[in-house]
């Protein structure tokens, strides 16, 4: 390769390496701040700041969703397997919000560590399947003899 072109190529590689290191350091520093939400464990262990609006995300615990009659008020728990967070919300839940599915809530913690949410978002996972297949999985999951063979939770519960 011609020395001049070789030098230009080296400059380009230098620019790439330098910016990668620079941005890499920024990304490393932002690793917590760039998270969209805190997990219930982080909130329980005091990592999340108190008294300011924050987001919490996790699985909506099965059987924890309660609606208060004659109002739009609901309460439910989100969990990451290790800790639980109680959430109170007044408003309309997204269509895909369901027990056993992930959700992200925005709000403030009150003095009893209950999240007073102003927004509830449903988080979808990366799985896609037709209803018949999901039904078949659910059927298989319900049969005790087959449950051992089904390693995954059913895709949804109707």
Partner 1 sequence: MTESRGNWQWLYRLGSPRWFYDISGRWLPWLSALTFFLLMTGLVWGLAFAPPDARQGNSFRIIYLHVPASFLALAGYYIMAVAGAAGLVWRVKMAFIIMKSAAPIGAVMTLIALFTGAIWGKPTWGAFWVWDARVTSMLILLFLYIGVLALQRAFHNGDVGYKASAILALVGTVNIPIIYKSVDWWYTLHQPATLKLTSAPSMHIDMLQPLLVMIGGFYVFYVLVLCLFARAEIVCQERSTVWVRRRLEGTP
Any contact of residue 37 with partner 1 (CB under 8 A)? yes
Residue 34 as a binder of partner 1 (CB under 8 A): the answer is: yes
Span from 29-37, 61-69, 82-90, 139-147 in contact with partner 1 (CB under 8 A): 29-37
**Helix or strand (DSSP H, E) at 122:** strand 115-123
**Which stretch, 43-51, 63-71, 90-98, 141-149, contacts partner 1 (CB under 8 A)?**
90-98
Question: b or e along 45-77 (b: 16 or more beta carbons within 10 Å of the residue's beta carbon)?
Answer: eeebeeeeebbbbbbbbeeebeeeeeeeebbbb
Torsion of CA 57, 129, 142, 124, to 10 degrees: 10
Q: Which of 49, 62, 96, 139 binds partner 1 (CB under 8 A)?
A: 96
**Closer by beta carbon to partner 1, 69 or else 105:** 105
DSSP per residue, 72-105: SEEEEEEE-SS-EEEEEEESPPPTT--TTSEEEE
Which listed residue (69, 71, 111, 132) binds partner 1 by CB under 8 A? 132
Which residue ranges make up the site for partner 1 (CB under 8 A)?
1-2, 5, 8-9, 12, 15-16, 19-20, 23, 27, 31, 34-39, 57, 93-97, 101, 104, 119-135, 155-156
């Amino acid at each position: 390769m011609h020395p001049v072109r070789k030098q230009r190529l080296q400059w380009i590689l230098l620019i790439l390496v330098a910016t990668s290191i620079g941005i890499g350091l920024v990304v490393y520093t932002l690793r917590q701040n760039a998270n969209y939400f805190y997990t219930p464990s982080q909130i329980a262990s005091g990592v999340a700041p108190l008294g300011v609006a924050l987001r919490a995300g996790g699985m909506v615990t099965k059987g924890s969703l309660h609606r208060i009659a004659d109002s739009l008020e609901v309460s439910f728990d989100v969990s990451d397997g290790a800790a639980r967070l109680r959430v109170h919300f007044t408003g309309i839940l997204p269509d895909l919000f369901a027990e056993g599915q992930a959700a992200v809530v925005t709000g403030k913690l009150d003095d009893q560590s209950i999240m007073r949410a102003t927004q509830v978002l449903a988080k979808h996972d990366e799985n896609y399947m037709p209803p018949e297949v999901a039904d078949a999985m659910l059927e298989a999951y319900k049969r005790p003899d087959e449950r051992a063979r089904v390693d995954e939770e059913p895709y949804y519960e109707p």
